[in-house]
A and B are shown apart, each in its own frame.
Chain A
Amino acid sequence: MLTLTCPLCGATVEETELAPGGEAHLKRFGPGSSDAEFESYMFNRKNPKGVHFERWRHAYGCGKWFLAARDTVTWEVFGTYPAQTTEPPADLVAKIKAKRPTWEGYK
């Protein structure tokens, strides 16, 4: 059962206090988008074995959504950060690259 530190209130909490929200940094496609774009937004997920960016809500705490970078195999947590961004912070990406040299990057 994993633990994450909520970047908004600073509490380190266990999984039972969190609600999972799937893959992070999805770009919403609304009216006017192609079928392929909409399908990709609604259904296609990376589901990687390794570095993953995901959404979590501190449901039993401050109620805020935040994002986490985590290794889906070892459960190492590289970092958490507020949800108000379209891509992971550069320093976090650099940290992950240093720890996982073969990682291809988040895109």
Chain B
Amino acid sequence: MSTRLAKGGRLIDRSQPLAFTFNGKPMRGFAGDTLAAALLGGGKSLLGRSFKYHRPRGLVASGAEEPNVLVGLGRNARFEPDQRATTTELFSGLEATSQNHWPSLEFDVGEVNNLLYKFFPAGFYYKTFMKPRWAWKHLFEPIVRQAAGLGEAPKEADVDRYEQAYAYCDVLVAGGGVAGLAAALKAGREGRRVILCEMTANWGGRAPVDGGTIEGLSPEEWVKTALQALEGMENVRIMDRTMVSGLLDHGYAIAYQRVADHTPGDGRPRHRLWRIRAGITQVATGAIERPLAFAGNDIPGVMLASAVRDYIVNWAVSPGDRVVIVTNNDDAYRTALAVLDAGLTVPAIVDARVQASGPLVQAVRARGVAVLEGRGVAKVLGRKAVKGVEICAQAGEGGAIQTVECDCVAMSGGWSPVVHLWSHSGGKLNWDETAAMFRPDATRPPTGPEGLALAAVVGAANGNLTLDAIAAEAGIAAEVEAEAPLEPVWTMPAGASDALKFKSFLDYQNDVKVSDVQLAAREGYESVEHTKRYTTLGMASDQGKLSNINGLAILSETLGQPIPATGTTTFRPPYTPISFGAIAGEARGEIFQPLRKTPMHGWHEARGVHWEPVGLWRRPYTYPKAGESHREAVNREIVNTRTNVGLLDASTLGKILVKGPDAGKFLDMMYTNMMSTLPVGKCRYGLMCSDNGFLMDDGVVVRLSEDSWLCHTTSGGADRIHGHMEDWLQCEWWDWKVYTANLTEQYAQVAVVGPKARKLLENLGGMDVSKEALPFMTYKEGTLGGFPARVFRISFSGELSYEIAVPANMGLAFWEALNAAGEELGVMPYGTEALHVMRAEKGFIMIGDETDGTVIPQDLGLGWAISKKKADYLGKRAQERKAMVDPDRWLLVGLETLDGSVLPDGVYAPAEGHNANGQRNTQGRVTSTYYSPMLNKGIAMGLVKHGPARMGEVIDFLGDKGAVIKARIVDPVFYDKEGAKADV
């Protein structure tokens, strides 16, 4: 059983005990503990249930590679699932809960899956998809959904704050071990801008635990000195609790800073996501120890050898009284020494090598420990805790030679450099046969914009696993015990029977065993990427940190090919999971995305407006009065506008100024109409097409002066159309003398609409707005009620209408002045829905309703707006294509149901026969449909094959659930067909 040792623990402060809870039970740890250390120190070794088989699981590792012990942290608005206990710093009041079990961690019904392991082989759920067909839905899916999974999603909104920040440096150092510190010192002394990141709260990496001397100092002393030196450098930024999680193109690194995970609620942002642009990144991310694949290697109490000594040395936690060490290398003997130094027992060292004789081995032997050479573990005894190991010949099939009682097994299968950052943007690896590991190939680095390396790898990450090698690479002196070479061991024992391989786990987190990888290989999964998906080896939050090399070695062995021929799966960021909060940063709530507001936004809001999102704008949809439904409000606004006068906030309309000697010529290219001939002071409705012929925007163009035009665009279209104009000016007709300016936001614009619109403006005074002084489709500049204004006589409703632009900062005052001046006339504001109904009553098209990117102006009966005189305009050539002049194209018509009801939006009219896919042919669809309060019936517009030639014909539309709705094809102008109302 694990326990806290009475002495030692380099990272803990025994004077600062901390209370926390695990599954609701109170526990105690010390400042400096990780949650894992505190749990283990508190005697907890069963800490979770596995993903698939619900096997009891405990800690395997001491750092980011821990696959098993994921817990839920906090509660309610601070609850977060799937947090690794090994990377969670303990704080007072921490609340942790174990996951994936029911009803309890100790007794989990799901463990029945463990007995059914033969029914859950590799790819079992793919197989359940296949046959029998009924079984997935009714049998497998409910079971799998219930049994599988990690933590539960939080149910409350997160109360913490998150942010992001940008940083720039010459050298980014990822990792604060000896290699990282040395690299930062070197770059710092060269005067370069350096950022040094360490993912934990502690510096020095493994060296303070593993021992040796650096430049004559103990590792701990050397680390302290190095940090002091770095802190004194202006050009060096040091960040602990900051993981470089990805290294992407052009040296773009993502770093995840856990600012306040250990001090929740202290007012600081919880996480900060750094977006760092680095000239070069020094990858000093160390190495991860590999487990060995023997039966029962997942029973709580079986741990990595390095983790066992970490718990002892760093946190004074004994994982067990009797620790059997299983290894294929010398490094694990350090664990034996640490166990012995703590006063605990090492009953045996099981070394797979035929001969073990390095200085570390000798040191352990000298202390009376039995070293069993050429031996392996056949199986671990115990279920929820280790009780002993059966020892066998490593070369054999697993026949037990002896049984050794123990309560902890420390295993080491060698080390794998952490090459993730090197690999994210394309750095290549070589297989090192001697050391049995992939290491970075410095001749094939990831490259940046200049074609030069954007990363370099140092230290253990570069395959320099010993302190002297790390120091030599960094150009400093260090001494440490020499190590004899390891002997690669992929299965233990070498000829393990199937029964053993069924319990030899490779990927703890996903419950993938040696047998699963071998089955996948036999079933034809030869690519390592396919095997990964099929078996789930190396998936989920763990991403194969422990399992990948063992897994692909076994795959290679089964396929009978060398390991480099199998290769690795792709390394993808993030290195370990990062929070959604950090990814979202500040973008939540009110500033999730920009909300564009007109100067009158607050006025609308204060009157209980119902908003309609238009691009990033919010536009008033309607202004319901107390007790009024939206539809009633819309109808009221329409009737009032058509009988009295209405006001529309039209500020969102795009307004682009186009000026220059070639502006007319340019606009003739941009619009299908002729704009160069528009007289000064006049307005003209214009259509814009892409050069692919399709309608992209429309609006009224005003000739302001001899050489300047004002182009109105749709709301939300302004930036796009301005960009479109600039594109053609800069990239195609760059010798034309034309300047543009996007003035959309310079002006607030109000449409004053209705029979009493003129009276309202006369009440305001200051400008002659009579028919004679300001005829339909003209414009005037002057003052209205004291406001500097441009007044356009244009109409999108068919009513007498003025659109008036004033400087935006005066928009609200002007809007209020209009309301006051119109009070006696019954003025009311109206929203976009009333606007839409009124334009549909007049048969005016709306970009985005009648158009969908496949519609040309000719489809919409807008041939009158296409100049026949112009040799060219954008879209002209495209509109000459065969498909564009096809007489069978669907054309715009009006539609009326026979019973006066409103047609559903977007419905199709079926035609005879079926298409090649067996679907019914169609002959038209509804593009706009509304209830018209003026006509007291439904009105609609649609595109129908040969439509205008079929006036009066009744066709069927298909509604919900096959309902047939009969509609008559009619003229799209429903209201005031003569146009008498606008031109008064």
Contact = CB atoms under 8 A, between A and B. Distances in A.
Direct contact of A and B (CB under 8 A): yes
B905 interface: no
A77 B277 CA distance: 16
Interface string B870-890: 011000111011000000000
Contact of B881 (A21, A35, A55, A77): A35
Given A35-B881, A74-B447, A84 B723 contact: no
B727 A28 contact: no
Contacts of B250: 1-3, 75
B248 A42 contact: no
Contacts of B872: 30-31
A75 B252 contact: no
Given A74-B447, A76-B447, A84-B734, A14 B723 contact: no
Nearest to B251: A3
A90 to B, nearest CB: 20
B730 interface: yes
B451 A1 contact: no
A55 B728 CA distance: 12
Given A31-B880, A38-B878, A63 B249 contact: no
B731 interface: yes
A81 interface: no
Interface string B718-732: 000001001100111
B249 A1 contact: yes
A2 B454 CA distance: 13
B451 A76 contact: yes
A84 B730 contact: yes
Interface string B227-264: 00000000000000000000011101000000000000
Interface centre among B248, B448, B730 (most CB of A within 10 A): B730
A9 interface: no
A33 B252 contact: no
B731 A83 contact: yes
A14 B878 contact: no
A2 B692 contact: no
B142 interface: no
Contacts of A77: 449-450
A27 B426 CA distance: 35
A71 B449 CA distance: 9
A65 B727 contact: yes
A64 B449 CA distance: 21
Contacts of B252: 1, 14
Contacts of B877: 29-33, 38
A55 B880 contact: no
Given A30-B872, A84-B734, A76 B450 contact: yes
Interface in B419-434: 426
Contacts of B734: 83-84
Nearest to B693: A42
Interface string B429-472: 00000000000000000011111000000000000000000000
B726 A42 contact: no
B277 A14 contact: yes
A99 interface: yes
Interface centre among B250, B448, B734, B878 (most CB of A within 10 A): B250
Contacts of B447: 74-76
A8 B385 CA distance: 69
Contacts of A99: 451
B878 A42 contact: yes
Contacts of A32: 877
Nearest to A1: B252
B449 A3 contact: yes
Contacts of A14: 252, 277
Nearest to B248: A1
A42 B883 CA distance: 15
B797 to A, nearest CB: 35
Interface centre among B277, B451, B726, B731 (most CB of A within 10 A): B731
A75 B881 contact: no
Contacts of B723: 19, 57, 59
A77 B447 CA distance: 11
Interface in A24-59: 28-33, 35, 38, 42, 55, 57, 59
Contacts of A3: 250, 277, 449
B691 interface: yes
A30 B449 contact: no
Interface in B801-831: none
B450 A42 contact: no
B738 to A, nearest CB: 14
A94 to B, nearest CB: 16
A60 B872 CA distance: 32
Contacts of B732: 28
A83 B450 contact: no
Contacts of B727: 21, 57, 65
A35 to B, nearest CB: 7
B871 A31 contact: yes
B875 to A, nearest CB: 10
Nearest to B669: A30
A65 B726 contact: yes
Nearest to B254: A1
A29 B871 CA distance: 13
A2 B249 contact: yes
A76 B449 CA distance: 4
Contacts of A59: 723
Contacts of A31: 871-872, 876-877, 880
A30 B876 contact: yes
Nearest to B875: A30
A2 B448 CA distance: 9
B445 to A, nearest CB: 11
B43 to A, nearest CB: 48
Nearest to B447: A74
Contacts of B449: 2-4, 75-77
A63 to B, nearest CB: 7
Contacts of B277: 3, 14
Contacts of A4: 449
B878 A64 contact: no
A14 B881 CA distance: 40
B745 to A, nearest CB: 16
Contacts of B876: 30-31
A65 B731 contact: yes
A33 B723 CA distance: 26
B532 to A, nearest CB: 24
Interface in A61-93: 63-65, 71, 74-77, 83-84
Contact of A83 (B248, B249, B691, B730): B730
A75 B731 contact: no
Contacts of A2: 249-250, 449
Contacts of B451: 71, 74, 76, 99
A65 B730 contact: yes
Contacts of A75: 249-250, 447-449
Contacts of B691: 28, 42
Contacts of A57: 723, 726-727
B285 to A, nearest CB: 21
Nearest to A35: B881
Contacts of A64: 730
Contacts of A30: 872, 876-877
Interface of B: 248-250, 252, 277, 426, 447-451, 691-692, 723, 726-727, 730-732, 734, 871-872, 876-878, 880-881
29 contacts: A1-B248, A1-B250, A1-B252, A2-B250, A3-B449, A4-B449, A14-B252, A14-B277, A19-B723, A21-B727, A21-B731, A28-B691, A31-B872, A31-B877, A32-B877, A35-B881, A38-B877, A42-B691, A55-B731, A57-B727, A65-B727, A74-B447, A75-B250, A75-B447, A76-B450, A83-B730, A83-B731, A84-B731, A84-B734
5 shortest interchain CB distances as A-B pairs: A76-B451, A84-B734, A77-B449, A65-B730, A83-B731
Given A19-B723, A65-B730, 14 more contacts: A1-B249, A1-B252, A3-B250, A4-B449, A14-B252, A14-B277, A31-B872, A31-B876, A35-B881, A38-B878, A57-B723, A75-B249, A75-B250, A76-B449
